[in-house]
Amino acid sequence: MSQSATLPDIRQTLELNAPIQKVWTAVSTAEGIGAWFMPVIGFEPAVGREFELNAGPFGMSPCKVTELDPPNRLAFHWGKDWTLTFELRELEGDRTEFTLIHGGWSEDALTEFGESHRIVRERMAGGWAGIGTKLRAFIEG
């Protein structure tokens, strides 16, 4: 019986020059998420809430909020396989550490659009670096 090998989570951590409440608003509201990540339809920060991300050429992705611990943690299922977690930690001097964790990667799985997780994971790892730049500009700009 073969077991699917998992691939490591994508983790990106940024230190932002903003108080935790400002960062929390950027990562836990439809307006905030739409400004730095992807347009979102029907999002509310409530466990069990179903919503959709507009993934551009890949269409609408169904999502569901799975964890909520304001202003420190928000997690949701994304599509059929993935989880996305935003973790915030208050730092001294009105600064916030933001960590994004994108999990659910499997060596032999395919996405809804037929690409291997390994290929998409590599693309997303690079994409999250750019998203971090957008988040920083949105919060600090």
Q: What is the mean pLDDT of each run of 10 residues along the chain (141 residues)?
A: 76 96 98 95 98 91 97 97 97 97 94 90 88 94 88
pTM here? 0.92
**Angle separating helix axes 20-28 and 117-140, nearest 10 degrees:** 130
Q: For residue 104, give both structure tokens.
A: 């659910």
The CA distance from 109 to 11, in Å, is: 20
**Residue 100 to residues 80, 122, 139, Cα–Cα distance (Å):** 19, 15, 15
pLDDT of residue 4: 66
Candidates 64, 59, 56; CA nearest to 82 is 64
Q: For residue 10, give both structure tokens.
A: 């994508």
